Amino acid sequence: MPLAVDQIHQGDARELLDRIADDSIALSVWSPPYFVGKSYEKDLRYEDWRQLLREVIAGHARLLRPAGFMAVNIADILCFPDPAIPRLQAEKSGGRRLPVTRADIERVLGENPGFTRYDVARHLGVSEQTVDRRMKHNNIRGGKYAAQTRVQLTGPLLEQPAYEAGLYLYDRRVWVKDPAWENSRWHTNSYRAVDEFEYIYIFWKPGITRIDRERLTRDEWVQWGSRGVWQIPSVRSNRDHEAKFPLELPRRLIRLLSQPGDTVLDPFVGSGTTAVAAIQEGRRYIGLELQPPYVQLARRACQEARGRQP
Ligand SMILES: C[S@@+](CC[C@H](N)C(=O)[O-])C[C@H]1O[C@@H](n2cnc3c(N)ncnc32)[C@H](O)[C@@H]1O
């Protein structure tokens, strides 16, 4: 049975993609797990993660319509322990590394049961975000200062499997999120654990691309349509989902790369942001999501968005 359009489907993207009709998707917009230790990716090994990307990208070759696009939002850097690299890479001198560990935070909380994470942060002289990350294990795997931590760019990890699947790099944009976060602001001359920008890589399935200059207003072309750098504040509240992208991001991609009535896919739909943007822009959508609570969240978001339609 092919997957119904205008629905969020629960399951593994690698399996569900096989059930999407050939040549039916005009645009796919997604942000994969980043392999940075979020709760929904804690059981993934690096090789599994790469394989997930490979399979999802390969799946697109069949279901994108000719001249369709796949736009992937991803941060640049991966950080993971690699015993094969020299230890020297991790040496530091002068140490401005935060000495605060999860155990320190637990001790302060034990001594001061009523403390919020803001109180703990003040008490330990660190930012509230540091406390939050330590507690949620929501941190770059290994940490870039751990001995033998390897950093790797993500662009090639998308480009190579896309090329092998017959999808070609068409464009890329830089999404500038926020000024450096409080706890990334110390002096650093290497990769930041939390960076100020991410990428959007756009791949193209061969076909005749219709470039419709009327798709955006003149102002939109000037402000962002023709620009390589997009300034969009990130979503700071992560109470319901850990890694949402802002609505404006899929909205721009949808307006730029599809027509009203087209179907937009998000195989990692999370809280449903891409589907909501599709509804608002008069497109159809298919959303896939592994985690049942996020499926519910996305379905509710779509229902609300449809309710707000004129
Ligand atoms: C970076 S988040 C995407 C967030 C989304 N863009 C939003 O704005 O809410 C990645 C999502 O992929 C989901 N996920 C991870 N592995 C998956 C898989 N194999 N199939 C489908 N979804 C998966 C996670 O549960 C998570 O919600």
Single-letter amino acid code for the residue at 57 = I
* Cβ-defined contacts of 91-96 (< 8 Å, 24+): 92/145, 96/186, 96/187
Task: Give the Cα separation of 195 and 181 in Å (integer).
Answer: 8
Clarify whether residues 158 and 254 are in a common domain: yes
CA of 251 to the centre of ligand 1 (A): 18
Clarify whether residues 252 and 179 are in a common domain: yes
Residue 168, both tokens: 């070609």
Task: Give the Cα separation of 13 and 18 in Å (integer).
Answer: 9
CA of 172 to the centre of ligand 1 (A): 21
Radius of gyration over every alpha carbon of the chain, rounded to an integer in angstroms: 21
Clarify whether residues 49 and 171 are in a common domain: yes
Clarify whether residues 131 and 164 are in a common domain: no
Domain edge (last residue) among 134, 153, 172 = 153
Domain edge (last residue) among 136, 153, 170 = 153
Task: Give the Cα separation of 41 and 143 in Å (integer).
Answer: 16
How many structural domains comprise the chain?
Answer: 2
Clarify whether residues 62 and 95 are in a common domain: no
Q: Which atom of ligand 1 is nearest to the CA of 268?
A: 12
Residues with CB under 6 A from ligand 1: 12-14, 31, 33, 40, 52, 241, 243-245, 268, 270-271, 273, 288-291, 294
Clarify whether residues 167 and 300 are in a common domain: yes
Q: Is the dihedral of CA 216, 287, 248, 198 positive or negative?
A: negative
Q: Report DSSP state, residue 197.
A: E
Map tokens 């001061």 to a residue. 112
CA of 192 to the centre of ligand 1 (A): 23
CA of 57 to the centre of ligand 1 (A): 14
CA of 33 to the centre of ligand 1 (A): 6
Clarify whether residues 64 and 174 are in a common domain: yes
What residues make up the domain containing 133? 79-153
One digit per residue, the tens of pLDDT, for the chain of length 310 reads 899 999 999 999 999 999 999 999 999 999 998 776 566 666 777 888 899 999 999 999 999 999 999 999 998 766 667 778 776 554 555 555 567 888 899 999 999 999 988 899 899 888 887 787 777 654 444 444 456 667 778 999 999 999 999 999 999 999 998 765 544 444 555 555 567 889 999 999 999 988 888 999 999 999 999 999 999 988 877 677 778 999 999 999 999 999 999 999 999 999 999 999 999 999 999 999 999 999 999 999 999 999 987 7
Clarify whether residues 66 and 86 are in a common domain: no
Testing ligand 1's pocket by substitution, the residue of 289, 294, 296 carrying the most ligand atoms inside 8 A of its CB is 289
Clarify whether residues 34 and 16 are in a common domain: yes
Q: Which residues pair with 9 in a beta bridge?
A: 288
In a domain, 2, yes or no: no
- E strands within 3-141? 7-10, 25-30, 64-74, 77-81
Clarify whether residues 52 and 160 are in a common domain: yes
What is the number of other CB atoms lying within 10 angstroms of the CB of residue 263?
22
In a domain, 1, yes or no: no
CATH classification at residue 60: 3.40.50.150
User: Which of 264, 301, 300 has its CA nearest to residue 282?
Assistant: 264
Ramachandran angles phi, psi of 197, nearest 5°: -145, 160
Q: Which atom of ligand 1 is nearest to the CA of 246?
A: 8
